Amino acid sequence: MSSGKLQVVGPGDAIADLPDTGEVRVGAGVIAADRLLRTVRAGVPRQTKNRKIWTEGRSKRYAPCVGDNVIGTVIERRSDDFVVDIGGPFAAVLNTLAFEGATRRNRPKLVEGDLVYARVVFAHKDTDTELTCLEVTGKAGGFGPLKGGMSINCGSALSRRLLAVPPAPVLTALGETLKYEIAVGQNGRMWIDAPRSASVVLIANAIERSEFLREDQTRLLVQKLTSHMDRLDDG
């Protein structure tokens, strides 16, 4: 994939060659054909930190794809699994044993309304999506229940941009001034936690307002927002 410039593609366009060795992670809007990665919808090619490639379009509803990281809300607890809303056409299912350290006697005690950060392991347009809170290594790796903080709908285009390589300028700029935790789901949701509720609101505001800004504009925005909070603290 080319980098540095915005590349708009259409259905059937080639965006990368398939390597002779190694694994390629294909996301939404991309297929492998004739030793090439091709798009199946209009949009902009993107790549995440773990080298997953997809086409970013302006879809209104999240379409689950294997390997996606998602933020979901527990809507029902059953004997062996949780039913989770991830914003897709069907509810997702999360097995009670799909957590690090979980056993038949020691299962996570999630209730309706709890948030989880999970990974899609099975997706089909006509049935429930299956989730796990484990990496392929069997470790949590950041997945699991999300305690405290605030969940925000930010749109799939912005959420995927926050996960792209290199890191989004707004996250870097915020990290230079504030202490915070963030989880971003490719289903258009993000979760933010910080020592102060005012910081959570500021971070969410900065991220949402930075979507269409250049890096220099983003840094100015973050400086303005954080300086305003500092003035409130001094007062």
H-assigned helices in 39-188: 156-162, 169-175
User: CB neighbours of 114 closer than 8 A, spacing ≥ 6?
Assistant: 73, 74, 145, 146
Based on the fold, state whether residues 175 and 124 are members of the same structural domain: no
pLDDT range class, residue 3, cuts 50, 70, 90: very low
The predicted structure's pLDDT at residue 16: 82
Order of strands, sheet of 30-33, starting from the edge strand that comes earlier in the sequence: 14-17, 36-39, 30-33
Residue 8 domain-assigned? Answer: no
pLDDT range class, residue 29, cuts 50, 70, 90: confident
User: CB neighbours of 133 closer than 8 A, spacing ≥ 6?
Assistant: 94, 98, 99, 100, 116, 117, 118, 119, 140, 143, 144
Residue 61 domain-assigned? Answer: no
Q: What is the domain extent for residue 229?
A: 150-234
Q: pLDDT for 181-212, tens place per residue?
A: 999 999 999 999 999 999 999 999 999 999 88
The predicted structure's pLDDT at residue 206: 96
The predicted structure's pLDDT at residue 57: 65
Q: Which of 146, 178, 209 is the last residue of a domain?
A: 146
Residue 76 domain-assigned? Answer: yes
Say what the pTM is.
0.75
Residue 172 domain-assigned? Answer: yes
- Cβ(83)–Cβ(121) below 8 Å: no
Q: pLDDT for 86-125, tens place per residue?
A: 998 889 999 999 999 999 999 999 999 999 999 999 998 8
